[in-house]
Structure 1
Amino acid sequence: MSSLIPASFGATLQAARDAAGAQHYPQGTLYVVATPIGNLADITLRALHVLEIADAIACEDTRHTQGMLRAYGIDRPGARLLAVHQHNEAEAAQGVIARLAQGERIAYVSDAGTPGVSDPGARLAAAVREAGHRVLPLPGASSVTTLLSAAGLVGAEDDGSAFVFAGFLPTKAGERDAAVLQLAAEPRAVLLLEAPHRIEAMARALAVLGARRVTLGRELTKQFEEIATVAARDLAGWLNAGAQRTRGEFALVLHPAPPGTDSAGDGERVLKLLLAELPVKTAVKLAAEISGAPRNGLYELALKLRAGESRED
């Protein structure tokens, strides 16, 4: 969490009671509450009020959530915090459902952002609905919408609103590279998430996309936040330009491929990279999908490249 926060949220907590207290909060309901992704000031008044009145708070990490609640001036005994995380979500959901059946209001928070978006919470919400109880979402902070709003996406008809959320790609190099090749043919923007210890590997994998633009958000909403847009082939260089640039949590937006781009150069470059790992037909097919270059021309080039390799041998 950011250190640039008010010393006390006492006035904010009272404002939350005044603004949201008169609203209806049905019993026997799971409240899915978005929490800040870094800056504690990015909390909604309704979220604060629900966290204060809930009979129990289910959370990804009880210690993390306890610290957040205390920062807001909300004092909850440990017994009213329920651990619901990726390793126990299915089992823990049954305990939540039992409490809902008794008419309790249960709030659910992940460690940061909106639950169920690359965070635990989806299985819990599904189980609660299946059991016949209401799931009520409280919108708020999300790294997905935060970065998208600053990326300046523009599509073929000046409409960049369509996007695909891919989240975290596979951690194994081969699987990650294959996933990038699949995303390369996606005409819409693609939103990705990555951890600091894998961001350089991600940058190397994305380099195959050449001139396609990538907007990277590092430490979003925090004191050392950075947002930059570079060509995919230049992303690794941007990261290596400063020691701090590989630190923190990352969100990335792969921009839509611009219309009418001359793709011959990118097609040749991508083809050469793919031929190092794949048979000719597969490499040509993927290079054409990624770059938009004509498949026939790429096939002829691939044969020439392979012939040149044979002569060198």
Structure 2
Amino acid sequence: MAVGTPAGTLFIVATPIGNLADLSPRALETLKTVAAICAEDTRHTRQLLSHFGIDRPLLALHEHNEEAMSERIVERLSGGDSLALVSDAGTPLVSDPGYRVVRAARAAGLRVSPIPGACAAIAALSVAGLPSDRFTFEGFLPAKSSARRERMGRLASETRTLVFYESSHRIAESLADMRSVFGDDRIAVIARELTKMFETVLDGTLAELHAQVEADDNQRKGEFVVMVQGAGDDEEAQLIEGRRLYAKLSEHLPPSTAAKLAAEISGAPRKALYGQGGTE
């Protein structure tokens, strides 16, 4: 940094998830005045900037170059340039690249300032009607069904509301896996295309939602937030976790030993686990 030159600020700017009117006045002013804008997809961001008459240099920042770009961005900030970081839509770093740049800037003692705004997960949760005092955001699930079910299995006993992102070409398959792991009767909500023309919010059991999505091609288009109500009381959560552990342990151990260990770890009654494939 040149002597007497104040360091710049890295602004983390939330952009609309659909409706362009959701870009805040502060975000608009920031994007107009920074030296350059770091964007996940420069073509997408250029369209957004063009809509608002903003002409700023763009720097491509994505998961494949983030490590290398961090040093370059820190150098510019240290030299006095203020920069903005945006993702394709919503709040940066939420299931999007950027945390390495933020970490590098903070490690260098530089100012990182949020310009809050739209976030699909929070917007969806606000209209879901599910418990929102405690929730866990899981982002995108794995693409392969086996890995998806494995991830879901670790969440089956979670009592907080579960929030996932999902794509149009996997929504039906993911709902089928959720039915298998969480059960047909677990309450869930699907928010699709939030703030856009075809915004839809569906609620019901996982079985009902899966049937609706399978029956209507339109409900398999767009971008999705899937929210699943957490497991019930502690006893139910213990039983779900105990059965998950028993299923895994019984692949390698005698049923009685698997049930004993699963019960000790989960707190579930040992005898309640035998219905998952073993007998005393």
- What is the TM-score of this pair, normalised by structure 2? 0.84
**CA offset at residue 235 of structure 1?**
3.0
Counterpart CA distance in 2 for 1:212 and 1:192 is 15
Counterpart CA distance in 1 for 2:37 and 2:19 is 21
**CA offset at residue 293 of structure 1?**
8.0
- 1:233 corresponds, among 207, 224, 241, to 207
1:75 partner letter: D
5+ residue gaps, structure 2, are 1-5
- 1:88 corresponds, among 59, 65, 69, to 65
Measured at CA, do residues 294 and 122 of structure 1 come closer, stay the same or move farther in structure 2, by a change above 3 Å?
A: same
1:16-62 superposed Cα distances (whole Å, 9 cap, x missing partner): xxxxxxxxxx8511000000111111111100000000111111111
Counterpart CA distance in 2 for 1:32 and 1:103 is 17
Counterpart CA distance in 1 for 2:107 and 2:82 is 17
Tell me the equivalent position of 1:102: 79
1:302 partner letter: G
1:253 lines up with 2:253 in the alignment: no
1:266-289 superposed Cα distances (whole Å, 9 cap, x missing partner): 98xxx7xx979x74647x959x97
1:106-127 superposed Cα distances (whole Å, 9 cap, x missing partner): 0010000101110111111111
Q: Partner of 1:251: helix, strand, or coil?
A: strand
Counterpart CA distance in 1 for 2:148 and 2:161 is 18
Q: Partner of 2:100: helix, strand, or coil?
A: helix
1:38 partner letter: G
1:62 partner letter: T
Q: Partner of 1:196: helix, strand, or coil?
A: coil
The sequence identity of aligned pairs, in percent, is 41
Q: Partner of 1:120: helix, strand, or coil?
A: coil
Matches within 5 A, 1:279-298: 279=251, 281=258, 294-298=269-273
**Mapped contact 1:153–1:256 kept (Cα < 8 A):** no
1:89 partner letter: E
Measured at CA, do residues 293 and 105 of structure 1 come closer, stay the same or move farther in structure 2, by a change above 3 Å?
A: same
**Mapped contact 1:206–1:233 kept (Cα < 8 A):** no
**Mapped contact 1:33–1:115 kept (Cα < 8 A):** yes
Tell me the equivalent position of 1:150: 127
**Mapped contact 2:192–2:199 kept (Cα < 8 A):** yes
Q: Partner of 1:67: helix, strand, or coil?
A: helix
Measured at CA, do residues 27 and 69 of structure 1 come closer, stay the same or move farther in structure 2, by a change above 3 Å?
A: farther
1:162 lines up with 2:134 in the alignment: yes
1:63-117 superposed Cα distances (whole Å, 9 cap, x missing partner): 11111001112123xxx11111111011111111111111011001000010111
Matches within 5 A, 1:16-165: 28-76=8-56, 80-154=57-131, 160-165=132-137
**Mapped contact 1:61–1:110 kept (Cα < 8 A):** yes
1:243-290 superposed Cα distances (whole Å, 9 cap, x missing partner): 111111111111123449999xx98xxx7xx979x74647x959x97x
**CA offset at residue 181 of structure 1?**
0.9
1:198 lines up with 2:170 in the alignment: yes
Q: Partner of 2:53: helix, strand, or coil?
A: coil
Counterpart CA distance in 2 for 1:177 and 1:112 is 28
Measured at CA, do residues 47 and 27 of structure 1 come closer, stay the same or move farther in structure 2, by a change above 3 Å?
A: farther
Counterpart CA distance in 1 for 2:276 and 2:116 is 51
**Mapped contact 1:32–1:107 kept (Cα < 8 A):** yes
Tell me the equivalent position of 1:175: 147
1:221 lines up with 2:195 in the alignment: yes
Tell me the equivalent position of 2:3: none
Counterpart CA distance in 2 for 1:49 and 1:204 is 45
Q: How many residue pairs get matched?
A: 263
Q: Partner of 1:228: helix, strand, or coil?
A: strand
Counterpart CA distance in 2 for 1:148 and 1:242 is 23
Tell me the equivalent position of 1:184: 156
5+ residue gaps, structure 1, are 1-25, 155-159, 308-313
Report the RMSD for the aligned CA atoms in angstroms: 3.0
1:215 partner letter: V
